[in-house]
Chains A and B, each alone.
Chain A
Amino acid sequence: MRVADLEARELEARLTGTGLALDFGAVRARIRADQASLAAAIREVYREYPDQPSRGFFEVNASVERVTGIRRVLRSQVKFVVDGEAPFAPFPADTHLPLLEWGLNWCIANNCNQFLLLHAGAVERSGRAVLLPAQPGSGKSTLTAALTCSGFRLLSDEFGVVDLNDGMLLPLPRPIALKNESIEVIREFAPDALIGPSFPKTRKGTVAHLAPDRLSVDRRGVPAHPRAIVFPKYVPGEPVSLEAVSPARAFVKLAGNAFNYEVLGPAAFDAVRVVVQGSECFRLRYGDLHDAISAVRRLVGE
């Protein structure tokens, strides 16, 4: 049984009661929510996740709750609560799902130091994983989304989760946050892709979430060998090109862009070394998604 199979009332009851268990693979979360509209949005973007008992250990216990008090009269707001504390300023109530997703990102980035957390998308095909480090202007999420709509397994959009013992990439498939024009780009690219509701008034503009596909969710327990590190750069009208990046620079970029590199110290250094030494490193410049996907396909041997 999957989250999509739950009746709306059952899901709402779960979210307001014992919580909804979400097994992301490397991380398990239990979430609660007290808004019916948020429950409906969760049902859409987490549709393929198995319905699991809400007992047991969870790395993340979080909820999105209505803000009560005088503010509620003036403007309806919601807050993100984790372990009983609300660490962030409230959001308008009609942006609850983005708040939940960004809040979960924050929880993972701050607490999951049993892994090295690279700031990167990660996909896999033919047994070869490709890391897509996040940089401004890269179009990383759009490219990651398009790759997962093109037969690549989604490991993660936000976190390249590296096993400190062996340098393998651990899956953490979650909804991919698409922003502004990217939403329509992916709708056109993959008309059958399941994109959740749009939220127009976030700090990042309009945000919508691409639901992970069933295969990626079902294989969330299967690690992957990193074999390529691709620094994407989206430039409108640019012909596609792949340029080799020196491994030392790739190392520095990964280390400098990781959420917890400094926290882990020597273990992180060793993990990044394993990842870089086992991978080819490139800069990918592209103006067309299809061309970019073809280039990445060639890297995984297709």
Chain B
Amino acid sequence: MKTGRRAFVKRSITAPLVLTVGPALARANASSMACLSRDALRATQDKPIVMVSIEADEWMRVEVDLVGLSVWNGSSFQTLPGQYFLGVDKLTYWLLEQGATPNSQIGVPTQYKTFNATPRSLNQRRFALVYVDSQGRETGYAFEKNGGNAVTGSCWTSVAVRA
């Protein structure tokens, strides 16, 4: 059964994004907040978007798998330096780079996509915070070193739970 066409509205198409609401969202924010704003600004410099402001609470928590990438240079596969991860558009590979503070890392978008690069798993998963702007485009990533963790920052968990 075909759907009826939606109203003809002039607009642009952005890459589809599907993000998962994570239970530890706020708690992760609490632990990563210090490095977010600067890293977010740096991560979005390559994007043709005017960022009026980046509210740290606009970030969403995701888990990414780190991969190495190889590309075909016409005669052989060439391994690219660095660690990469697939963005939430499930199309674009991002490069993991050092952030503005010693304990932070950021993602930088690359020209490598699922159709022009070959991934190999590095068997590492990382927690990251991804910023998605109001147009529904992913525009920045921030990471904690060593994978990050869900830290409880809420006042009601000030009691330490017995092991």
Binding site for B on A (CB under 8 A): 80, 86-89, 91, 98-99, 102-103, 105-106, 109, 119, 134-137, 141, 158, 177, 179, 202-204, 231, 233, 246, 249, 252-253, 255-257, 261-262, 283
Contact = CB atoms under 8 A, between A and B. Distances in A.
Contact of B158 (A136, A203, A261, A262): A203
B98 to A, nearest CB: 24
B26 A134 contact: yes
Interface string B147-163: 00000011111111110
B29 interface: yes
Main SS at interface, chain A: mixed
A98 B158 contact: yes
Interface residues of B, number: 25
Interface of B: 19, 21-23, 25-26, 29-30, 33, 55, 57-58, 60-61, 134, 153-162
A102 B159 contact: yes
A109 B156 contact: yes
B21 A135 contact: no
B16 to A, nearest CB: 15
A204 B33 CA distance: 18
B81 to A, nearest CB: 35
Contacts of A106: 156-157, 159
Given A135-B26, A136-B33, A177 B155 contact: yes
Contacts of A105: 156
B25 A87 contact: no
A231 B29 CA distance: 15
A252 B26 contact: no
Given A135-B29, A233-B55, A88 B159 contact: yes
A252 B153 contact: no
A202 B156 CA distance: 12
A136 B159 contact: no
Nearest to B28: A256
B156 A158 contact: yes
B154 to A, nearest CB: 7
Nearest to B57: A135
Contacts of B159: 80, 88-89, 91, 99, 102-103, 106
Nearest to A158: B156
B158 A255 contact: no
Given A102-B156, A106-B157, A204-B155, A89 B21 contact: no
Contact of B57 (A179, A203, A231): A231
A233 B29 CA distance: 14
Contacts of B26: 119, 134-136, 256-257
Contacts of A89: 159-162
Contacts of A179: 155
Nearest to A263: B23
